[in-house]
Structure 1
Amino acid sequence: MGGYAFDCNQSFDLEQETFWTKTQRITLTPKGALLLASCGHLPEITSQEIADKSKVDELGKLVACLQAGWFTVQIISRLACGLPITLLEVTVVGHVVCALVLYALWWHKPRRIEEPTILRGPWTGPLAAFMVMLSHVDAAPGSMLPGFQVEQQTLEITTLKFRIEPDDGTVQGETLSNGEQELDKIDSSLQVRTKTGLSLLYEEEIVIKDTIVDWRGQAEARLRLACLAIQQHSAVRTLLRRPICETDRKYASALAAYPEMPKRCRKKRDREAMLQNMSPWLECDAQNLVTHTASDWPHDGLVRTTGGLVMGTVLWVASIAFSAVHIAAWNAGFPSEAEAWLWRFSSMFIGFSGLLWAFLHIIAELSASLWWTWYDIMIGEASQVLTMLVTALCSMCGVIYILARTFLVIEAFVELRSLPTMAYAIPQWSVSIPHVG
């Protein structure tokens, strides 16, 4: 796990009002750590401390790499001597290539750091409350859309907006309500601050967009502390934005979900041009600043997202390379003709799927209409016929891909029942070199 975390028993002042009890610890995402650094509260940790926590076994890595390298040399020498290669060896070669690349990229990556660095100080309460309200850790559950994506959860911060007061240049947190009246334009150069002593004591729950938001108890404490964080830290105030026009909300949501959106899909105006300069209200954009547990998978809490084209290219190039290794065994000594053609079809389909998706990624990068069509399918706004068609095709290709990969692994072991005699021969030069295995 590791990382930075707020601990309810260690981070916060005992005299401070309780605002969170669902979990003992709240772990910061990379975006949360960046905000903490911008506020000047990120603890200094040396590389020696990280290395001391890491449980990396470099000797074990070296031995594994030497063993994989020795296996690769053996395969090359067998080919040079004209000896047959078994399907199991072909399968292992594909995994060896992937393993060597991963070892090279992750050689200095810390591993198995269980305990995070606990954040302490009088500043932790307001910032932790603000991050919780801005993140998904306390959001109302979303619903599944007709497409593939789960509808965005309702965050506590979306039920707030901050009003700029023309008389003293302050910003006051209030709850959203229907029928809000537009106010006159105010001076945008006023410093954004929050009023202290907000009175938001409600006797009953408030229903906002079919979601019950309870402002009493801990939720009310989070509100007060979040407003205090906005007042104390200028870095937090940079997250306040004027509300986006309703006509541009879809474009803004797509841009927030896919920052790597192709230039052809972007409108000629930037995001700031979409903001209503006439509105006296400021809102907070939803950001994944904290989470329950740290994750190694890509998520929206990363400081820099990996571009869809880059991610897709890497994944499908790896798939094509894996396919090429198995296609190389086209004329291997299969036990039967049926197994030979199943092996060839499975190998070619894996490569075909990689080429197909790489082609679609490139086309989507060049065609704005195709990119937006795919986005409409993802958010459930495309026609039902198109959504069902794409779902059926993707499901069918996915099932065939899984079956193809499974067959390659199974066939590698099944072939062992009838190996040619020369498969047991080894190059003579390797006998004179001391080795294990």
Structure 2
Amino acid sequence: MGGFAFDLEETYLSESNFFTTKHARLTVTPRGMALLAKCGYLPRISKEDILDKSKADNLSKMLSILQALWMLAQIVGRLIIGLSVTLLEVNTLAHVICALIIYVLWWYKPKLINEPTILRGEWVPPIAAYMYMSSQISGWRSLHPGILKKTWIDPECSILEFKPPTAEDHNLDTQDSAQRSPPAANKITSVVSSRVSSTASVPRLRSLTKRGSFTTRPLPALTIKDEGAETTLAHVNSRLEASRELQETRWALAAEAMTLHPAIASRVKSHEIIEGDKKATWLEPITEELVDDSIGNWATENLLRDMSGFVMGMVVWSASMAYGGVHATAWRGYFPSRAESILWRVSSLFIAGSGLTWILINMLARTFKGFKAYWKNVASLRAHWTNLVGLGSLATICGLLYLSARIYLVIEAFISLRKLPASAFGTLQWTQLVPHL
């Protein structure tokens, strides 16, 4: 929800580690918070602080729930005593059930967080630099745009490799730390605005380099299909931030985070590359959305991996199944015409079936790595063109049918009011259900 952030201006003033001119604040995503927890930097937030950010009181929530339950009770009562339930009431009931589930899940959920909790500490600059480089906020438009938003932009780490420290580097670093005098006046200075300036000492950057370093990936790993090596190198150079000093500071800070924190050091993929008769290994940093400009209340790709891939899919499409199932309860209800009855039944089944289909797809992606890799290639438009055309056409047709089914259910709920059975005008008498009333 955007409840935690790095205030870069504050960080620069206190730590003198300025690594970008593009943003003054970085909002931590759920994936970023999970990484901070693994690194031992999860902030301590009291229950009172969380409740203080809740803008809706329990009384208003309870009144809304009572209204929804009263609607549900009215429909159940009418069915028990044999009164007709209109299609508009069935449509309303589907939304009522969704509202009840949302209120239960969001009872303690804060909202409209205008002032996030600022994360502070000496650990912030390296972690913030790494999370920035791993996220799309640091990147540029992808040369391989795909279907999903996450394939539109490549983060800075997408052109870098990480070189871990060697045993020799560790020994040199230990000797250098024992003999090093206080930092001298030899510093790299970059004035970044009228308010903030940053200095980074050369000895410190050299020390960080001994711990590990970021460099551009080997040329064969950067070469893009149908593009020459020179064009690729031009793309690489154009993607780097204009200030070389900021880039060096950012890469050094991110390398420090990679070296000092095992949870971050493990976020790499090993690759082999052959150049002539030589075989070399290089480490590709795993990129994820760890920070962003801002985060809204709507679910996005910034959610945790398991949440966005499986659990969220189960929840959303289970809701779709429930929505179609509720409308299917009017299977033998009264319709002005047979055609409207058939269309209602088909629309209800199609909506519920779509939910079941996507749940099965999520389960397959969760269970089988091969299916997940295939789906990823399709989403990034890297699969064979026949697969893209076939699946694209099927998805387009199914999407239009799903949209049409949802629209029809709403329209039919209203136009069916033109002709209703006499029992639809009957009034529910609760004494028929509860005799002592």
TM above 0.5, yes or no, is yes
- One of 173, 197, 218 as aligned partner of 2:213: 173
SS at match of 1:13: helix
Q: Compared with structure 1, are the counterparts of its residues 32 and 344 closer, same or farther at alpha carbon in structure 2 (3 Å cutoff)?
A: closer
- The answer for the alignment partner of 2:188 in structure 1 is none
Give the superposition deviation at 1:94: 0.9
Q: Which is further off, 221-230 or 381-390?
A: 221-230
Give the superposition deviation at 1:37: 4.2
Q: Compared with structure 1, are the counterparts of its residues 125 and 369 closer, same or farther at alpha carbon in structure 2 (3 Å cutoff)?
A: closer
On the 8 A contact 2:6/2:26 being kept in 1, the answer is yes
CA offsets 1:124-150 (integer angstroms, 9 cap, x no match): 333322221222211121145576676
Amino acid at match of 2:325: A
Q: Distance in 1 between matches of 2:212 and 2:362?
A: 45
Amino acid at match of 1:139: G
- The answer for the alignment partner of 1:156 in structure 2 is 156
Give the superposition deviation at 1:82: 1.2
Q: Distance in 2 between matches of 1:372 and 1:15?
A: 42
Q: Gaps (5+ residues) in structure 2?
A: 171-209, 221-231
Give the superposition deviation at 1:321: 2.4
Amino acid at match of 1:413: F
Are 1:29 and 2:56 matched, yes or no?
no
Q: Distance in 1 between matches of 2:264 and 2:368?
A: 37
Q: Distance in 1 between matches of 2:39 and 2:150?
A: 33
Amino acid at match of 2:388: T
Are 1:415 and 2:416 matched, yes or no?
yes
- One of 270, 276, 288 as aligned partner of 1:243: 270
More helix by share: 2
- The answer for the alignment partner of 1:321 in structure 2 is 322
Give the superposition deviation at 1:77: 1.0
- The answer for the alignment partner of 2:253 in structure 1 is 225
- The answer for the alignment partner of 2:382 in structure 1 is 381
- The answer for the alignment partner of 1:112 in structure 2 is 112
- The answer for the alignment partner of 1:81 in structure 2 is 81
- One of 240, 243, 257 as aligned partner of 1:213: 240
Q: Distance in 2 between matches of 1:228 and 1:132?
A: 14
- The answer for the alignment partner of 1:340 in structure 2 is 341
On the 8 A contact 2:144/2:380 being kept in 1, the answer is no
Q: Which is further off, 206-215 or 91-100?
A: 206-215
Give the superposition deviation at 1:401: 0.7
Q: Compared with structure 1, are the counterparts of its residues 242 and 367 closer, same or farther at alpha carbon in structure 2 (3 Å cutoff)?
A: closer
SS at match of 1:164: coil
CA offsets 1:198-251 (integer angstroms, 9 cap, x no match): xxxxxxx973558532452433332233344456x435653464633469xxxx
SS at match of 1:168: helix
Q: Distance in 2 between matches of 1:213 and 1:338?
A: 62
Q: Distance in 2 between matches of 1:368 and 1:133?
A: 27
Q: Compared with structure 1, are the counterparts of its residues 424 and 318 closer, same or farther at alpha carbon in structure 2 (3 Å cutoff)?
A: same
What percent identity do the matched residue pairs reach?
37
Q: Distance in 2 between matches of 1:314 and 1:177?
A: 40
Amino acid at match of 2:244: R
Q: Which is further off, 125-134 or 218-227?
A: 218-227
Q: Which is further off, 284-293 or 218-227?
A: 218-227
Give the superposition deviation at 1:16: 1.9
Q: Distance in 1 between matches of 2:318 and 2:371?
A: 22
Q: Compared with structure 1, are the counterparts of its residues 125 and 340 closer, same or farther at alpha carbon in structure 2 (3 Å cutoff)?
A: same
Q: Compared with structure 1, are the counterparts of its residues 238 and 358 closer, same or farther at alpha carbon in structure 2 (3 Å cutoff)?
A: closer
Alpha-carbon RMSD across the aligned residues, in angstroms, is 3.5
Q: Compared with structure 1, are the counterparts of its residues 150 and 283 closer, same or farther at alpha carbon in structure 2 (3 Å cutoff)?
A: closer
SS at match of 2:163: strand
Q: Compared with structure 1, are the counterparts of its residues 326 and 5 closer, same or farther at alpha carbon in structure 2 (3 Å cutoff)?
A: same
TM-score w.r.t. structure 2 length? 0.74
Q: Distance in 1 between matches of 2:419 and 2:269?
A: 71
In the alignment of these two chains, the number of paired residues is 378
TM alignment of 1:7-406, pairs within 5 A: 7-13=7-13, 16=16, 18-143=18-143, 145=145, 151=151, 153-157=153-157, 158-169=159-170, 170-176=210-216, 178=218, 207=234, 209=236, 212-214=239-241, 216-230=244-258, 233-235=260-262, 238-239=265-266, 241=268, 243-245=270-272, 282-298=283-299, 301-303=302-304, 305-306=306-307, 308=309, 310-360=311-361, 373-406=374-407
Give the superposition deviation at 1:296: 4.3
SS at match of 2:213: strand
